[in-house]
Structure 1
Amino acid sequence: MSMWLGTGTLADQLLLLLLAFVLSAVIGIERERQFKSAGLRTHILVGLGATLFTLVSAYGFASLGLGAVDPSRIAAQVVTGIGFVGAGVIFVNRGNVVGLTTAASIWVTAAVGMACGAGLPLLAVAGTTLHLVTVGTLPIAERLLRRRSENQLLVRVSPTGEQLGTVLDSLATAGMHARVDDLRRRSDRDLELAVHVRGKQKDADRLLAELGSIDGVVSVTSGPIRGG
């Protein structure tokens, strides 16, 4: 049974375009609430653009009297073209790749728009729902399954840097995976070491306390690794 009982009239096409607007906005609102670089407007425009391309591919050329056309040709180019938009929100911050989830969200939004344009509204709604489930509840499930900590430590050492070797030794023997992402001298002359650590939470707490007790370490702060 067809998931869409429309006849391909202008009214049907406008309804599909409106549905794409609503579903794209739902995805965009979630990204907006997470303060991501691509938010509500970007996702709406991506969804509308994908829908329009699909509708034009399906109906536009037939109205010109060109005979049989392949509606999948333009739609296929949407998949390729949307990759350039997604690439624009991916960047590297201190060795960490940021924006992958948002880029994937843009990709899904284009797919939702194409489903609307192809006359598959139930499929588009299902895709949007599963997207919200993925970005909303699965991260919590991942943390419960892994029971592991992944944080970035910012370790400030006195200007002489004499204790830097002791800090590195502590990182190497902490029982965690540690990666030094950045080492720089601050304006107050202190050295700042940015370290990506991953492992059990109890090991992370012990490492934090150990680093803070080293003479010459000015401060140690810990924060989550921000992605998506």
Structure 2
Amino acid sequence: MDEYHLHVGEMALRLLLAVVMGGAVGYEREFKKRPAGMKTHILVCIGAALIAMIQQEITWSSITFAMDNPKMIGVLSADNARLIAQIVSGIGFLGAGTIIVNKDSVTGLTTAASLWAIAAVGIATGMGFYALALTSWVCVLAALTFVSHLMPLPRTRRLLVELENWDASNDFIQEYLDEHKIKVEDMDFEIKRLPHETFRTYSVIYTLTVPRGMSEKNLLLSLSSNPHILKIRLIN
């Protein structure tokens, strides 16, 4: 039965594959400035692969022991899915930490899903299912990299603007948004008046639907050119 046990070379190969595949997915997330990057995805993939290998070793050790001690067969059990099920549960808590809910917007869902998916890739790698691991890894990378380009859906962005002279500033902003087909979904504003000051400033949060090809940098630069706009930034 020794041929069924993992040797050092096989263990190293599986862990190396976990590093490469987890790192590639993590790089894509880190490049897009998402909460969980290369290190997190590598560690998740390595951890999942390691636990899968431990589960395999426990199973084969139990089988070997049972064959050497037939009288103990009735009291031995090795559930091949028990430890793996705990990986899935653990990743749920880790993924929840990447999800940010802010009023009507939710961010981090894709990163949470990528952590869950790379854990599954790690399990397949640790179990030695190389074809399954490599195929699923390619699918995960393709989903993260190409789907948004193949399906150019509008993006929702929240824009914080601090301004003075409400009428002139708001008219300028609305004209720019209409010209570039940017739809205002919601607007929330607060009026500020400093002590001993006669003029007011306004803090406005616009929830916008931005066309996929629209440059966020150009949006900020164009709006900030108005002298009545004191501060502007994207908040998601």
- For the criterion TM > 0.5, the same-fold answer is yes
Quick one: percent identity of the two aligned structures?
32
1:56-90 superposed Cα distances (whole Å, 9 cap, x missing partner): 11212542637441111111121111100011111
| TM-score normalised over the length of structure 2 | 0.69
SS where residue 89 of structure 1 aligns? coil
**3-state SS, counterpart of residue 151 of structure 2:** helix
Q: How far does residue 121 in structure 1 lie from its aligned partner after superposition?
A: 1.2
Q: Give the SS at the match of 1:137.
A: helix
In structure 2, the gaps of 5 or more residues are 66-74, 213-218
Residue by residue over 1:152-171, the C-alpha shift from the partner in whole angstroms, topping out at 9 and shown as x without a partner, is 3334342xx8659x77xx79
Change (3 A) 1:18 1:153: closer
Tell me the alpha carbon deviations over residues 191-222 of structure 1, each in whole angstroms, 9 at most, x when there is no partner: 11111122769xxxxxx9xxx8xxx9636958
Which one of 180, 192, 195 corresponds to residue 187 of structure 2? 180
Unpaired segments ≥5 residues, structure 1 = 1-5, 202-207
Structure 2 residue aligned with 1:43, among 34, 37, 41? 41
Aligned position for 1:3: none
Q: 2:159 — aligned with what?
A: 153
Tell me if the contact between 1:155 and 1:217 (Cα under 8 Å) persists in the aligned partners.
Answer: no
Q: What is the number of equivalent residue pairs in this alignment?
A: 204
Question: Cα deviations across residues 148-189 of structure 1 (Å, max 9, x unaligned)?
Answer: 46443334342xx8659x77xx79xx7945123664749896
Using the size of structure 1 for normalisation, the TM-score is 0.71
Q: Is the 8 A contact 1:152 1:197 kept in 2?
A: yes
Q: Give the root-mean-square deviation of aligned CA atoms.
A: 3.9
- 2:125 is aligned to 116
Separation (CA, whole Å) in 2 of partners of 1:137 and 1:129: 11
Q: Distance in 1 between matches of 2:141 and 2:7?
A: 30
Over alpha carbons, which structure has the higher Rg? 2
Q: 1:75 & 1:34 partners in 2: Cα distance?
A: 30
Does the 8 Å contact 2:166/2:202 carry over to 1?
no
- Equivalents in 2 of 1:44, 1:163: separation in Å? 52
More RCO (CA 8 Å, sep 6+):
1
